[in-house]
């Protein structure tokens, strides 16, 4: 959640930053109205409280001077009722502002470029070179069917569209990729975790999925529980409502989980193949740091994911997202886009974000500093989306006959 104190102190500066994220102006006006209402409610309550204190002090003076206190007592009693009413008004105004603020995205960093959508993202660098083919490379869905690696029809039969079945070598490579990614991340100091795939509403609120993105989540009928959309949710919330010793930071974690998303806003996109599925596997990176360390941690996490792709021999590029393409909780995001020769395009395979103290404020994650308890910074990112990594291997390691070779790094895992 955004800092409501900062909002109160300098609304125009906050609004200007939110406009970079294309927050609707009517929402900003509503935020301003609710913020002003809370300010006025606080002033009215504090004024009445001050009056009460002043009148209470008069009792002693009246008694010393022998004055009648009946009228004063009536005024004090009436002001007490007024104070209770004003306190309730303040609480209502605060609750209304908090409810509205929970749907307001994080403020982008100063160096995040302006832009409406992905067309304004900035390429930072390319890693490795594109593979050269003396034939027209096939897309992964065709390779998957020809090699009996992917069964789309039976996936639909078991569930619905955007579900598929990996079989034979594809299933084995998926398992190998998961193990390889976890081992790679562990070697970089990220502790491996095994997590619940179901979380409660508080966890999803903490990382920013609720209340704004409820329509993208799979809810367990009859319970306030949900299938996780990403391991970011349980990993980050392992430390919700805790005060950590500074010596424990940074905390670096990695986990493999399936992820479940309705993809409500992606109708008609990537309907062929396994680029965009309702259920998919992902290996996640999450870090919890002090504010002073979070920039360096972002660089470390980006390097970890990029180096993993490099070790698999996959050409990719790093891209800084513009304000209009930035996620809800992110203050800054570096996407890693892998080259898919069959599609003749770069596709996102990892997204590494620094959320600053946005998630920590919602999840109440703090640490003990020399100046008192402070909010931590949280970071998260894919390392990597397993299905998309499989797609990249299929398209980059194919030959003219449609056979698929393996990256050298994976061979010992098979």
Catalytic member of 162, 347, 366, 388:
388
Catalytic member of 172, 175, 276, 317:
276
357, 375 in Cβ contact below 8 A? yes
d(CA 327, CA 407): 32
Active site residue 91: no
d(CA 225, CA 90): 32
Strands ordered across the beta sheet of 372-375:
242-245, 365-369, 372-375
Catalytic member of 294, 350, 351, 383:
351
Active site residue 388: yes
Q: Can you name the residues that pair with 372 across neighbouring β-strands?
A: 369
Catalytic member of 261, 347, 362, 366:
261
DSSP character string of 174-239: HHHHHHHHHHHHHHTTPEEE---SEEEHHHHHHHT-TTTTGGGS-BPTTSSEEE-S-THHHHHHTT
Active site residue 272: no
Contacts 24+ apart (CB under 8 A), 317-321: 317/123, 317/124, 317/125, 317/126, 317/127, 317/346, 318/123, 318/124, 318/125, 318/127, 319/121, 319/122, 319/123, 319/124, 320/112, 320/113, 320/121, 320/122, 320/124, 321/112, 321/118, 321/121
Active site residue 162: no
Nearest to 351 by CA among 385, 324, 393: 385
Active site residue 347: no
304, 80 in Cβ contact below 8 A? no
List active site positions. Answer: 261, 276, 348, 351, 388
């Amino acid at each position: 959640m955004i800092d409501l104190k900062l909002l109160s102190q300098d609304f125009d500066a906050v609004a200007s930053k939110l406009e970079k994220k294309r927050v609707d102006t009517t929402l900003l006006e509503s935020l301003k109205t609710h913020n002003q209402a809370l300010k006025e409610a606080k002033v009215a309550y504090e004024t009445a409280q001050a009056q009460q204190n002043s009148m209470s002090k008069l009792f002693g003076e009246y008694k010393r001077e022998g004055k009648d206190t009946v009228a004063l007592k009536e005024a004090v009693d009436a002001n007490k009722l007024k104070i209770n009413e004003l306190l309730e008004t303040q609480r209502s105004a605060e609750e209304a502002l908090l409810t509205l603020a929970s749907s307001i995205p994080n403020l982008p960093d100063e160096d995040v470029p302006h832009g409406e959508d992905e067309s304004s993202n900035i390429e930072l660098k390319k890693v490795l070179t594109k593979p050269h083919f003396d034939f027209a490379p096939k897309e992964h869905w065709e390779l998957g069917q020809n090699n009996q690696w992917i069964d789309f029809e039976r996936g639909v039969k078991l569930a619905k569209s955007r579900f598929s079945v990996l079989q034979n070598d594809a299933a084995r490579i998926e398992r190998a990729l998961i193990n390889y990614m976890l081992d790679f991340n562990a070697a970089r100091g990220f502790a491996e975790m095994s997590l619940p795939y179901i979380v409660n509403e508080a966890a999803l609120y903490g990382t920013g999925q609720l209340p704004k993105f409820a329509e993208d989540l799979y809810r367990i009928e009859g319970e306030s529980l949900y299938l996780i959309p990403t391991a970011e949710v349980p990993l980050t919330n392992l430390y919700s409502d805790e005060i950590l010793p500074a010596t424990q930071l940074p905390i670096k974690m990695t986990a493999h989980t399936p992820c479940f998303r309705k993809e409500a806003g992606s109708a008609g996109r990537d309907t062929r193949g396994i680029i965009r599925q309702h259920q998919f596997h992902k290996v996640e990176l999450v870090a919890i740091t002090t504010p002073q360390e979070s920039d360096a941690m972002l660089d470390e996490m980006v390097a970890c994911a990029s180096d993993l792709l490099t070790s698999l021999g996959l050409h990719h590029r790093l891209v800084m997202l513009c304000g209009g393409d930035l996620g809800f909780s992110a203050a800054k995001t570096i996407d890693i886009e892998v080259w898919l020769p069959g599609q003749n395009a770069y596709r996102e395979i990892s997204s590494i974000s620094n959320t600053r103290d946005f998630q920590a404020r919602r999840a109440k994650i703090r640490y003990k500093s020399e100046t008192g308890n402070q909010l931590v910074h949280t970071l998260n990112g894919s390392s990597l989306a397993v299905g998309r990594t499989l797609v990249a291997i299929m398209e980059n390691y194919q030959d003219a006959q449609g056979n698929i070779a393996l990256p050298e790094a994976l061979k010992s895992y098979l």
